[in-house]
Structure 1
Amino acid sequence: MPANGPDQDPVHKVLEPGLYIVATPIGNLGDITLRSIRALEACDGVACEDTRVTGKLLKHLNISKPLWRYNDHSEAKDRKRLVESMASRAVVLVSDAGTPLVSDPGYRLVADARAAGVMITSLPGPCAAIAGLTVSGMPNDRFLFAGFLPVKEKARRDALDELAGVDATLVFYETAPRLVRSLDAIGAVLSGRSIAVAREMTKLHEECRTGTAEDLIAHYTAHPPKGEIVLLIAPPNGTLPDDMNTDEMLRDALADMKPSQAAGMVAKVSGKDRKLLYARALELRSS
């Protein structure tokens, strides 16, 4: 597909058949872009997660279009029919809020459309993860978006443990009822790290609160949160420095413990990253 120049707008009153991935507001309806409005006005139909949610947005914009439900429960035959329609129709894909495919259904539809040779273009706009990152004050030169944390406690802690050594700001989506439980897991697995809770982004009661897991648990236990949440965790301190005291602690622990147990014990005492300590324990054991 030929690239569009910086001054070219591929969205006109009549759209070329294909798939148009359109970002919608995450709260403030004023965040819809002019280009997105023109695409919604000119398309042949809109594939959306919830027709009621998208219907409200279109009503606000005074636009009337056929709405086709497409979500995590859609079957392969529905996706096939939708892709086939793109040969002759301009189809807009939206999520309930924000940029489609960012922790939302849609990637299979895009993959199938690409395999079928369909013209695909993205109309960028609001994204809660990026909005949360920009107001958090967390390092943003490297970040990892990891969607929603698992619901069950063990799976949640395992997921955090897996990401503990990633040298980047971690970004998650979370629901208000699960926030305190997730903060508790972060405090246990990633002790001492700075955390930001960005809540109700772009809405009337938008807030971004930072602190330790303990600080935030105390606040949100006393003031139960509402709304959509972006949860951000600062990266680890970096590589484990040469520290003879830490090495000595590991050597002493390795006399009676497995490397993983030794790393866990020293991490609690020193406050250093357990995964880095585990890697160091393996080195010490083999030396």
Structure 2
Amino acid sequence: MNHEPAAAATAFEIFPPLQPGFTQHFDDYIEQPVRFPSSFPILFYQFSIPMNHSGRCPVLPGGWLDILFPYGSNLSIPKVYGSSISRADLILQPGTTYFSARMFPASLAPFALIPMKKLVNRSVPLYEFLPFDRCPKIQSGILSFSSRISAFQQEITLLRHTSLPKTEKGAKELMLAIEQIYSSCGNMNLIDLSEMLNCSTRHVRSVFEKFVGMPPKTFCQITRFQSAVAKLLQPRNNTYVDIISESGYYDQAHFIREFKKFSRECPTSWLTHLLHQS
């Protein structure tokens, strides 16, 4: 029986990257995390875009990638969306339902047709990223949410069995690094990581570029930002003092400055606008 590595399970349970714009914009949004053997878990989600909707949905930096499969009356090509470095608008098609998978880049890096660093701040058709010619089962209009999850798992399993992976050297070091980054809410620096992994800072940068697509410093900052977002969205009122102390910011100025860097708004304005979106 296969068991999920402790690092992967811990990372996902401690730090699921959030995209609250989806839940606020689309009333039928549903999601389900699923663990894959020997890899990071995947967050599956699904939502429909009303015909009278603009199709724009704000997304936040998360460090993960999203694969969106449209289905229904307006069938189009599945796309892969890399993590953005600051808040951006996803342009989607009104009158379409999307089945989606949020994955850690390292899960697909060994099979990717393009380097991970070229996916940051970009979206590409799925066939340019993975050797998938088509996904008829996933995009079928008659399947249930759970059936699409099963179909996606089958496609990924087939990919792993039939595709020759690129070298996975550095993957184990990355898993250890990600576990520590998530456990610390992103409060690790390059020297911390190199000492923990007993390797050079240059090697750490190389591993992150290969498997994540961004420098470790940026990934740590995004992790800390996402930690703050999660606390802002909790039912109980988290004050700036709570978030600063729990997320590891130096002071209020540091918290606001970094939050604006990734969300383009101060925390209060961002939360107010999010909660008033329809």
Flag whether TM exceeds 0.5 (same fold). no
Larger RCO: 1 or 2 (CA < 8 Å, sep 6+): 2
Q: TM-score, normalised by structure 1?
A: 0.24
Higher-Rg structure is 1
